[in-house]
Amino acid sequence: MSSGIEKYYSINKDNLDKSNYLQSLLSEAVRLNLLNAEQIHNIRLQLADMITTETRSYTQGDSSSVTVETAQSLMMSIIYTLDFYLKSLPSTDKCLDAIKSMKLMDIYSKGKELIKNEIEKTKRLLALIQKNKISTDNIAYNDTIESLNEFPKKYNPMFAAHDSVVSIDYPLCIDRMDTCGVEYISIYLEKLYWENEFCRKFSPKSIAKLLNGYSNESNELLINIFKLVLANSLGSVLLKRSARDLKIDNDDCQSLQHSLINMSLKDYESEIRSSVVKIIDELEIESEFLTKYIFETVDSISERIKELLKLNKLSNIFIAMKDNTDGTDIKFEDGKKMDDEMFRKVTEEIRSCRFVSDKLKIIWQEVHSFIDLVDILGADCIFENEFNELFSSFGNMELAMLLNELPSNKISGYRHLSIKDFDLHLSESEKEWHAAFSAYLNSLNSARMKEIIEISNKLARK
Amino acid sequence: MDKKFLLSPILDLSQSAVDEIIKCNETTSRYGLVLSPHEAKELVETRNNTLKDHGRVEFGGGIINKLIEAFCDSPYISQKDYPSILHELIETFYYYKNETLDELSDDELIDLMKDYFNNKCHGSIELLQNRDLDKIAKNIRFGEYEYDSEDKDDGADEYFFGEDYE
């Protein structure tokens, strides 16, 4: 039974810097008069001895001097190893006792022993991650796991214990980064393992669709997969569906918006909490670590939901899944472009036509390349109302392609930035067809317009 | 107490270094070379300044003694210029520790310095620094396996001494 009374320690652990433990512990001890000047002097002398011994060992006795950078790295490695042991002690009082009663060299040896054990732990975790990693095309995820595999080989606990040595790009959902060396890697691996375990409750296909819904370029983004999956699972439970169902569309977001916005803060929080419990139950999560991790993650997701509710933008957190095969890219292969001589002939012929129908006939007969078509539109051979006739002879695909040639500000609801937006050197005739085309598009009914914009989004952009 | 310096180790080894240098007089006096305590102190100061200038840290020490012991029997050193040559040797030593990327051990570098000084350089510190050690440093930086190999065609001797100096 908890009495609510906590043991009083002379130094509060919260006041200490985790990444610089010994230094901050000594500072606090001096401030609180728990260590006197002589004891500090003694510690510094011992450190001098240790750095001398370690440098000798580093140079294998061949050199009595090293560069300042090497000396600093050796010193950081020594302090990291001392910290490693001290941090393993249950309280700051025990740390102070150790500093007072033990030789620093003995603390150092114990730290080395603990680091050795930690390296073994990372090896075990790496083996587990090899088995439970999720199948995804996310580059940062795959590269980071590959790089982490090199850790036991590259890590140098003797002279660079503080150096994490491997490159870690994949962002964890909760990553405090206040540690380094093997300690950081070990924590990272443990969290990654549990994130993987969670994600494995869902099919790789649905995760791929979710990532694809997040962005077409999700493979190249530094995103945390676990958080995206958990958010959609939470959304699903809030919608009274299965936690395993990641499918959420815009209508679902709207219904969530309606149901959540009217809740009091207390109800909202208890709703979120009970949903998390449902997720944990349904996914049969037994690990205490993962349960805690999920709760902590949902805290941040919940804050985000609150913000997005105000903006009616829940679709930013509950991502609509997108199938990779539903036509993200329509590949277009252009026909043969005519040579300059031929182009000149065709444009002159078009210009000389009296009726639009004749102009259209020539265009349909002679032009076989989209580039040529765009050039003809801007070649002063089609005028005013003739544009409308020409555009109405095109299907949605041609119109969508022409839309991509237009500066984005011309059409409302069309958000993609185009290189044309930055082109300040449009000729008058180009401006003319742009204006005519945007007027034509704006005159279309909204359903057709939507269709054209959709096709245009799916077209592989140059 | 400034908390920043709580963990800076105490490395003031100056006095013991001076004592060790004075001790070397027992050996060097056989060659007519002796250092006064003041001169010994100046050598330690030169070492400290050189280490600082070249961004190096020394633990333990003993380099000055090693240089004294290696060079005391050189035919090119007399009592008159003994301290000044030692100052230059100390500076040369640390400079080339950096330039050779720490690939040479202390003993290897001192042996090379002694060999070149007594033979090829005929007691010229300038030649030692600018020609021979420089060439070795270059060889090491360019990854030559035999960094102290002679390059017969480089004409360096002719450059410094004229064609018929031997």
Residue A439: what pLDDT?
A: 87
Span A351-390, pLDDT tens digits: 888 888 888 889 888 888 888 998 988 888 888 888 988 8
Rounded Cα distance, A105 and A206, in Å = 54
Pick from A228, A217, A216: which is nearest to A134 by CA?
Answer: A228
A334, A370 Cβ separation under 8 angstroms: yes
Number of residues written out for chain A: 462
- Looking at beta carbons, which residues of chain B come within 8 Å of A63? 97, 102, 105-106
Answer with the residue of higher pLDDT: A96 or A326: A96
- Residue B20 at interface with chain A, using a CB cutoff of 8 Å: no
A52, B59 Cβ separation under 8 angstroms: yes
Of A26, A62, A79, the CB nearest to B106: A62
Span A283-324, pLDDT tens digits: 999 999 999 999 999 999 999 999 999 898 899 999 998 876
Nearest chain A residue to B106 by CA distance is A63
Average pLDDT over chain B, rounded to whole? 83
Residue A299: what pLDDT?
A: 94
Residue B158: what pLDDT?
A: 41
**pLDDT higher than 90, residue A19:** no
A329, A277 Cβ separation under 8 angstroms: no
**pLDDT higher than 70, residue A326:** no
Which of the residues A62, A63, A77 would you substitute to probe the B interface, choosing the one with the greatest number of B C-beta atoms within 10 Å? A63
Of A22, A27, A67, the CB nearest to B55: A67
Task: With CB atoms and an 8 Å threshold, state whether B9 touches A22.
Answer: no
> Tokens 């190999």 appear where?
B149
Rounded Cα distance, A136 and A413, in Å = 32
Span A186-238, pLDDT tens digits: 999 999 999 999 999 999 999 999 999 998 778 889 999 999 999 999 999 99
Tell me how far apart the 2 most distant CA atoms of chain A are, in Å.
Answer: 105
Number of residues written out for chain B: 166
Residue B127: what pLDDT?
A: 94
Task: With CB atoms and an 8 Å threshold, state whether B63 touches A65.
Answer: yes
* Angle between the N-to-C axes of helices A446-458 and A396-404, in degrees from 0 to 180, rounded to the nearest 10: 60
> Tokens 């924590």 appear where?
A187
Rounded Cα distance, A161 and A155, in Å = 7
* Helix (H/G/I), strand (E/B), else coil: A367: coil
Rounded Cα distance, A324 and A104, in Å = 59
**pLDDT higher than 50, residue A82:** yes
Span A123-177, pLDDT tens digits: 999 999 999 999 999 999 999 999 999 999 999 999 999 999 999 999 999 998 8
Rounded Cα distance, B81 and A113, in Å = 54
Give me the tens of pLDDT residue by residue for chain B, a chain 166 residues long. Answer: 344 445 565 555 567 888 889 999 999 999 999 999 999 999 999 999 999 999 998 876 679 999 999 999 999 999 999 999 999 999 999 999 999 999 999 999 999 999 999 999 999 999 999 999 999 999 988 887 677 665 544 444 443 444 443 3
Pick from A78, A85, A75, A140: which is nearest to A107 by CA?
Answer: A85
**pLDDT higher than 80, residue A340:** yes
- Residue A395 class from Cβ within 10 Å (0-12 exposed, 13-18 middle, 19+ buried)? exposed
pLDDT band at A328 (very low <50, low <70, confident <90, very high): low
User: Whole-model pTM?
Assistant: 0.71
Span A409-441, pLDDT tens digits: 556 555 444 445 555 677 888 888 888 888 888
**pLDDT higher than 70, residue A264:** yes
| Assigned token pair, B145 | 């396996």
Q: How many CA atoms lie within 13 A of A174 on its CB side?
A: 18
Residues 38-77 of B with CB under 8 A from A: 51, 55-63
- Looking at beta carbons, which residues of chain B come within 8 Å of A27? 3, 6
Nearest chain A residue to B52 by CA distance is A68
- Prediction ipTM score: 0.81
Average pLDDT over chain A, rounded to whole? 88
Q: Distance, in angstroms, between B152 CA and closest chain A CA?
A: 31
Dihedral pair phi/psi, residue A330, rounded to 5°: -100, 120
Rounded Cα distance, A372 and A343, in Å = 8
Rounded Cα distance, A219 and A215, in Å = 9
A346, A316 Cβ separation under 8 angstroms: no
Eight-class DSSP state of A16: S
**pLDDT higher than 50, residue A392:** yes
Q: Distance, in angstroms, between A65 CA and closest chain B CA?
A: 4
